[in-house]
Chains A and B, each alone.
Chain A
């Protein structure tokens, strides 16, 4: 077991997240896929922190920040989805197309 295992795993996780973001129609689902991507990044960060040339906490610290921001993001996004649902009675991103021609 070495760094490359974790890296490939995180790449796979990230790609699955990308697929989810691109393919789902429900805003909630898109958000869940987004979480996957964030976690893939975290795995990468911590793997590098553990396998670094010398011991340092930086990787883990940044992972903590990522988790913090992710939590904030989820809170906000969920508020937006709630609002959207109340105003439009739907969470389908197809229906949110004000930017259309």
Chain B
């Protein structure tokens, strides 16, 4: 068992453990923090896949931005209600559906697995030039999406809106 495989299993365990925690925990603050753990595991996986830039972005955006927003929202809403919030009555069905989904995906992936190749790194240069030449238009559109989402969020969340 190579070192990288050991690291993979460790990170995978962190990832999945955190994720299970997110969906099982009754406390929403715990969930949010466990999500952070899980996403940091994913960042580790990115490193393992030689995608350093993505790992960095993952840490910055999920760790720095998204988790903070979620915590803010939790703070702004009533925390005591979250603490006792139960799952909804269809959760056994949800378990079955999720398992079915996993089996299906895994089976399809194993059946259709491509031939063995080795990992290759994509350099920063390559990523940057690709992003700003080949993908320039979608990139701009993405920035527009962010802008619209920002404005929308402000309009929706503003005190005393139209209603």
- A touches B (Cβ under 8 A): yes
Residues on A lying within 8 angstroms of B by beta carbon are: 1-9, 11-20, 22-26, 28-29, 31-33, 35-36, 39, 42-43, 46-47, 49-53, 55-58, 60-61, 63-65, 67-76, 78-83, 85, 87, 89-94
Majority secondary structure of chain A interface residues (helix, strand, loop or mixed): helix
| B39→A50 contact, CB < 8 A | no
CB < 8 Å A-B pair total: 249
A51 to chain B, nearest CB (A): 5
| A16→B31 contact, CB < 8 A | no
A99 to B143, CA, bound (A): 33
Residues on B lying within 8 angstroms of A by beta carbon are: 2, 4-5, 8, 12, 15-16, 19-20, 22-23, 28, 31-32, 35, 38-39, 42, 45-46, 48-51, 53-54, 57-58, 61-62, 65-66, 69-70, 72-74, 76-78, 81-82, 85-88, 90-91, 93-95, 97-99, 101-102, 105-106, 109-110, 113-114, 116-122, 126-127, 130-131, 134-135, 138-139, 142-143, 145-146, 148-150, 152-154, 156-157, 161, 163
Q: Which residue of A lies closest to B148 (CB)?
A: A72
B60 to chain A, nearest CB (A): 10
A91 to B85, CA, bound (A): 10
Majority secondary structure of chain B interface residues (helix, strand, loop or mixed): helix
A63 to B134, CA, bound (A): 15
Q: A12-B102, A29-B85, A68-B146 are in contact. Are A49 and B35 (CB under 8 A)?
A: no
List residues of chain B with CB within 8 A of the CB of A85: 76-78
Q: A16-B98, A46-B54 are in contact. Are A6 and B49 (CB under 8 A)?
A: yes
Q: Which residue of A lies closest to B120 (CB)?
A: A55
| A68→B142 contact, CB < 8 A | yes
A87 to B61, CA, bound (A): 30
Contact of B85 among A26, A61, A64, A81 (CB under 8 A): A26
| A49→B122 contact, CB < 8 A | yes
List residues of chain A with CB within 8 A of the CB of B82: 26, 28, 91
| B49→A47 contact, CB < 8 A | yes
A48 to chain B, nearest CB (A): 9
| B98→A15 contact, CB < 8 A | yes
Contact of A91 among B16, B81, B88, B135 (CB under 8 A): B81
Contact of A71 among B65, B114, B126 (CB under 8 A): B65
| B127→A60 contact, CB < 8 A | yes
